[in-house]
């Protein structure tokens, strides 16, 4: 009987073109690539399967799973993947948003800066660590400040490419706030660059989205001045 690893190896044969795309961090989709049956399995079933698969990976690497320190690792990794690192894949974790009337008549930009997030590069499954800055101008409705953070965290908790993450946060804010006057700036360090490959630990990546009124030199300058405070 074929092992799960052998089955996966047959299905996903290494392709040099596919490997190059991942190494060069090429964005292939603005939406997270999900299969149509992505949510057929329950979370418990997913954890059981991931635990078995990760145990086999550890075995292939030569690790002794009878060791007290290692024998619980497959379960811990499976739980971490499903409940924490990649919980943003499931729509059930999407934050519920309530809008409020802009009774204060505050018509200038609102900026929530330095939102710390942890994500994972979809090409190597190693961490992306960064800060997101989001801003919007009310169209008559406002959102609770903590919800801005929750939207960032929701989209960060999935295998990601930074450009996609930036656009997903912006699109969600525009949809929820019913306005195009939204800006998103992300400054992040990719451990796939820092800890492997080129091993550059000093560089960071910046991506931006400017929508509506923010897509003007005046508003961009104003926003950048706020971020310097």
The tens digit of pLDDT for each residue in 71-100 reads: 999 999 999 999 999 999 999 999 999 999
Average pLDDT estimate for 48-59: 98
Residue 77: its pLDDT value, please? 98
Query: Would you state the CATH architecture of domain 99-227?
Result: 2-Layer Sandwich (3.30)
> Is position 162 annotated as part of the catalytic site?
yes
Mean pLDDT of 152-164: 97
Q: Which of 37, 26, 154, 162 has its CA nearest to residue 96? A: 154
Tell me whether residue 190 is one of the annotated catalytic residues: yes
Which one from 123, 153, 160, 168 is the annotated catalytic residue? 123
Are the folds of 4-93 and 99-227 the same? no
- Backbone dihedral region for residue 94 (phi beyond 0: left; psi -120 to 50: alpha; all else: beta): beta
Q: Which of 7-16, 41-50, 84-93 has the lowest mean pLDDT?
A: 7-16
Q: Which residue has the tokens 């910046």?
A: 206
- Res 13 pLDDT > 90: no
Residue 29 has a pLDDT of: 76
Sign (positive or negative) of CA dihedral 80, 86, 91, 94? positive
The answer on pLDDT for 68 being more than 80 is: yes
Judge whether 121 counts as a catalytic residue. yes
Q: What is the CATH number of domain 4-93?
A: 1.10.286.10
Nearest to 222 by CA among 181, 167, 187: 181
Domain locations in the chain? Answer: 4-93, 99-227
- The reported pTM is 0.89
Report the C-alpha gap between 9 and 218 in whole angstroms.
53
pLDDT of residue 210: 98
What does the mean pLDDT of the chain come to? 92
Is 19 assigned a catalytic role? no
- Mean of pLDDT values over 3-20: 59
- Given 124, 133, 153, 172, the catalytic residue: 124
pLDDT at position 185 over 60 = yes
Mean pLDDT of 133-140: 97
What pLDDT is recorded for position 6? 62
Active-site residue (options: 121, 133, 153, 160): 121
Quick one: pLDDT band at residue 133, thresholds 50, 70, 90? very high
Q: Bridge-partner residues for 137, per DSSP?
A: 109
At a CB cut-off of 8 Å and minimum separation 6, what does 140 contact?
101, 102, 178
With b meaning 16 or more CB within 10 Å and e meaning fewer, what string describes 11-48?
A: eeeeeeeeeeeeeebeeeeeebeeeeeeeeeeeeebbe
**123 assigned to active site:** yes
Out of 153, 160, 162, 168, pick the active-site residue.
Answer: 162
């Amino acid at each position: 009987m074929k092992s799960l690893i052998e089955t996966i190896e047959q299905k996903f044969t290494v392709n040099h073109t596919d490997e190059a795309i991942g190494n060069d961090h090429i964005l292939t989709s603005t939406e997270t690539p999900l299969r149509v049956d992505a949510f057929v399995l329950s979370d418990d079933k997913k954890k059981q399967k991931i635990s078995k698969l990760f145990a086999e990976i550890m075995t292939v690497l030569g690790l002794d799973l009878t060791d007290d320190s290692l024998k619980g690792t497959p379960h811990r990794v499976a739980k971490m993947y499903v409940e924490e690192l990649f919980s943003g894949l499931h729509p059930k974790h999407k934050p519920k948003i309530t809008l409020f009337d802009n009774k204060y008549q505050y018509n200038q930009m609102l900026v929530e800066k330095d939102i710390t997030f942890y994500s994972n590069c979809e090409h190597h499954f190693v961490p992306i660590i960064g800060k997101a800055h989001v801003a919007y101008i009310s169209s008559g409705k406002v959102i609770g400040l903590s919800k801005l953070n929750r939207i960032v965290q929701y989209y960060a908790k999935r295998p990601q490419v930074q450009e996609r993450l930036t656009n997903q946060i912006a699109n969600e804010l525009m949809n929820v706030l019913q306005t195009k006057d939204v800006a998103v700036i992300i400054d992040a360090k990719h451990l796939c660059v820092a800890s492997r490959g080129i091993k550059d630990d000093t560089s960071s990546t910046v991506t931006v989205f400017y929508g509506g009124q923010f897509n003007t030199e005046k508003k961009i300058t104003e926003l950048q001045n706020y971020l310097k405070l």
